[in-house]
Amino acid sequence: GENVEQHPSTLSVQEGDSAVIKCTYSDSASNYFPWYKQELGKRPQLIIDIRSNVGEKKDQRIAVTLNKTAKHFSLHITETQPEDSAVYFCAAPPAYKYIFGTGTRLKVLA
């Protein structure tokens, strides 16, 4: 079945530095790759996503890169701010099954 691995599990960066989180997936049928952010006590919310027909997508300080051949994709956050502190989840859902990675707890140190 589908397996999504996410690294690192925890990440601490200084404010203003960049953060990179990587996910690998197993199902070659996956063609949609979202990233969700979950703040403490809140529901997960989509922050960026990418489809398999492109290799990179950027939205202000957030970007996602995809290597479909190697079956991995990464979240890049530049100029990190304290409000970026949260847990981030990736997913690589094949049709109608939404499994998430193990999560990365990002802490941005002021």
Partner 1 sequence: GAVVSQHPSRVICKSGTSVKIECRSLDFQATTMFWYRQFPKQSLMLMATSNEGSKATYEQGVEKDKFLINHASLTLSTLTVTSAHPEDSSFYICSAWPLFANTGELFFGEGSRLTVL
Residue placing its CB nearer to partner 1 in the complex, 62 or 78 = 62
Residue from 34, 80, 85, 108 touching partner 1 (CB under 8 A): that is: 34
Residues linked to residue 83 through DSSP beta bridges, in sequence order: none
For residue 102, the minimal CB distance to partner 1 (Å) is 5
Residue from 32, 57, 63, 71 touching partner 1 (CB under 8 A): that is: 32
Decide: is 27 part of the binding site for partner 1 (CB under 8 A): no
Helix (H) or strand (E) holding 76: strand 72-77
CA distance 64 to 82: 20
**Amino acid identity at 35:** W
Q: Which stretch binds partner 1 (CB under 8 A): 18-26, 63-71, 77-85, 94-102?
A: 94-102
For residue 21, what are the contacts with CB-CB under 8 A and spacing of at least 6? Answer: 6, 7, 8, 11, 35, 74, 75, 88, 90, 104, 106
Binding site for partner 1 (CB under 8 A): 1, 32, 34, 36, 42-46, 49, 89, 93, 96-103, 105
